[in-house]
Structure 1
Amino acid sequence: MQNLNQLLEVLNLEEMVTFLAVVEAKSFVGASLLVSKNPTIVSRRISQLEKRMGVSLLTRTTRRVNLTEVGRNYYQRVRTLLDELASAGDEAMDHAASPQGLIRVSLPMAFGHRCIAPLLPDFLQKYPKIRIDAQYTDQYVDVVSDGFDVAIRLGASLADSSLTARKIASYNTGLYASPQYLAQHDAINRPEDLADHNCLGFSSISTWPNWVLKNGATELTVRPIGSLVSGSSEALLPAALNGVGIIMVADWLVGAALQEGRLVRVLKGWFGTLDGGVYAVMPPGRLIPVKTRVFVDELALALSGGN
């Protein structure tokens, strides 16, 4: 790394800012208004910059100032550098600030109610200056145009690469049934046995009307047939709990029922191919407000089982 004194010689911020002002104002007089300096001082700083660098950055005419080829490249690099410095300063001040203000968050219906809503009271007690506007919907929301600070989404991947996304948890999909259902029906030892069982269908999955199952490198497609189909996985849960049939849903939906013994895994080792992640999706930009950052951090910690 260069000696700090050498860096100070190269990185004369006053000259850089003045150069940017001249380029963006397209004149020395206009630049003088932007930096609140006399046009003579502006001209002198540019001359000093060019002399120190040994190149011509600008061509002057009586009416306007134009960039040379070297000047154009230099402008792009300096613009990026100064933007980075400004962002670093903003971020440092943001860290020092107390988290406060309104967080507008979009949450998927079932996952939001079951997994996020129970976490909100503790979060609000920990950060009393933060307020939350939680909207529960399974409809796709445009984070930017709809004015959300963060949207929680489930899936294997995210289509909109322009947004800032952070994976905060993972989930699997599996087959589940109640002990009484399994006691009253033929054993299920392989996926093909599902053809003789009442399979309750979640029609919102991308593979519907099929269930695609995997066991290691082995993948198998079955066509579930049953007495109940719904676009809501949560609507299928009571039927499964009451012994109506078998469901294939995400593990977060059945966690409590498994712990209480009201549901059990069917075909252990076989999973649905819709395993994915829980993502916090935020508007584009490097600087995430501290209120949003602590909210996402707390969700990630809680969903991973941390304290």
Structure 2
Amino acid sequence: MPDTSAQPPAAVRYRGRFAPSPTGPLHFGSLVAAVGSYLDARAHQGEWRVRIEDVDGPRTVAGAADHILRTLAGFGFEWDDEVVVQSQRLDRYHAALARLQADDWVYPCACSRSEIAAATTTRSIDGGLRYPGTCRDGLAPGKAARAWRLRVPDEDIGFVDRIQGETRQNPERDVGDVVLLRADGQYAYQLAVVVDDAAQDINTVVRGVDLLDSTARQLWLQRCLGLPTPIYAHLPVVVNAVGEKLSKQTLAEAVDPAQGSVALAATCTFLGHPPPAELRGAPLAEFWRWAIGHWSMSRVPKVRAIYPGVITPG
């Protein structure tokens, strides 16, 4: 039976999503996130949607989005509704930013990276420099705005993650005010993901634990915009032999749909659901029936990262 802890009320249909960034082909780590979110949605008779998060134009690779969708289809994923593409929704992010400006939740910032580095050595929870609040009370004389930042609170924001348990963060202390519109004119991920989850009625988010530290900022932004807060579950991420998260930057290899249920069996094993030996290589429809019927979030490892070694399909 599927795990029903911390789920939406029975009267509300589960709506989940998989939201890859088209910076390269789908690799094993991305497949793990896709499988985890898909199984959780289908095990709860819910909807599963796909969103292409290409709001960061400079990092987007031409043709990668189509390649990702073909790979998902090749593995037998079936998504509900049309695929949402962030680069086609900039007007929604503009409207959200305008609302935040009107309500004084954001302010213009003139600081460059080098100026921030000269002003502080304090690191944020995600490894970058914590913004010291230089422009929070207004721009210095002669300075022009480069970006817009969200005012974050000096208070603990917490939630109960379905895998990682209770999580708390003080955004002001741990991160500093967050950029929502960058100096290059690109809308930030934090704004786009909050706007899109609400617009798509996403009420359950299953994603990698590398995004766990972003969640408190997103909860705060949801509050500022008057948007609902989904339920969250953060899956362990796949790392390579030296502990680096699989990504384009770490030269992660693309998964091949020709591997079929062999690759899917590897992802399920990674997620604490090893299938019977006879299902490794079984037809996709047969494998998905087993995986959906046996899915339970309580069996997913709580650890933040795993090197799968021989689990990874070759």
Q: Same fold (TM over 0.5)?
A: no
Q: TM (normalized to structure 2)?
A: 0.23
Q: Per chain length, whose mean CA-contact separation is higher, i.e. which structure has more relative contact order (CA < 8 Å, sep 6+)?
A: 2
**TM-score normalised by the chain length of structure 1:** 0.23
Structure number with the higher helix fraction is 1
**Structure with the largest fraction of strand:** 1
